[in-house]
Amino acid sequence: MAKQARAVATRQQIVSAAAATFDRLGFERASLGEIVEASSGLTKGALYFHFKSKDDLAQAVVDRQHTISIAAVEAIATTDASALEQIVMLCHEMGRQIVEDPIVRAGIRLTLEFSAGTTPGKPGPYQDWIEACRHLVETAIAEGDLLPTIEPPVLARFVISAFTGVQTVSNVLDRRADLEQRIDQMWQFLLPGIVTPDRRPDSDRIRLARWIRDPALA
């Protein structure tokens, strides 16, 4: 049992080192040697024991990122915020994860790199986020916050797309230093066009909704 726990810890250590390396160098330039170097104290043998190839490692990083994303969605769902506030919270939480968590950054970079070529892209994080957002849009319409004419999959896709572009351009132009502010501006422009007339006076309050993580989980 202790042996198994050690194996899990080693595997996690490898995935973290791989994520840091993919985040820094991208898939092509990252070598298994670099990944071993990025992990403190691992050997190439240990790495090969757990993962067959660089592709395998990349998949493990993307899977881990998926788990992190879903955990945030589920945690936000347990708050008593309205579904529309939860969408705003989710965008800010995705922004925080990208800024603070190399596994999330690496997952996004790998997804982009795999889809930049001519082979069909792996949906990766986008599909997760769109699906979570679609579900919240449906609830927000039922709660009378979003216009009933909105098609949930279409708005969900646009929210995640707009978020993706906001974080991409923020990275290119400002190394994401202004990301939180740019996400806030996105909602400033978007909310007035999608909320019901009843909720328009509440737009500023909705825009400022934030999820505060339990510090015990940080």
Residues binding a second copy (CB under 8 A): 24-26, 28-29, 109, 111-113, 115-118, 120-124, 126-127, 154-155, 157-158, 160-166, 168-173, 175, 182, 185-186, 189-194
Contact status, residue 84 vs residue 141, Cβ threshold 8 Å: no
Smallest separation (angstroms) from a second copy to the CB of 107: 13
Smallest separation (angstroms) from a second copy to the CB of 154: 5
Residue 46's contacts (CB-CB under 8 Å, 6 or more residues apart) are 10, 14
Pick 24 or 50: Cβ nearer a second copy: 24
Question: Could you tell me which of 51, 130, 28, 29 has the C-alpha nearest to residue 87?
Answer: 130
Contact status, residue 73 vs residue 34, Cβ threshold 8 Å: no
Q: What is the rounded CA–CA span in Å between residue 14 and residue 64?
A: 12
Pick 65 or 111: Cβ nearer a second copy: 111
Pick 17 or 186: Cβ nearer a second copy: 186
Smallest separation (angstroms) from a second copy to the CB of 28: 4
Q: What is the rounded CA–CA span in Å between residue 144 and residue 212?
A: 25
Q: What is the rounded CA–CA span in Å between residue 162 and residue 110?
A: 19
Smallest separation (angstroms) from a second copy to the CB of 185: 5
Pick 12 or 33: Cβ nearer a second copy: 33
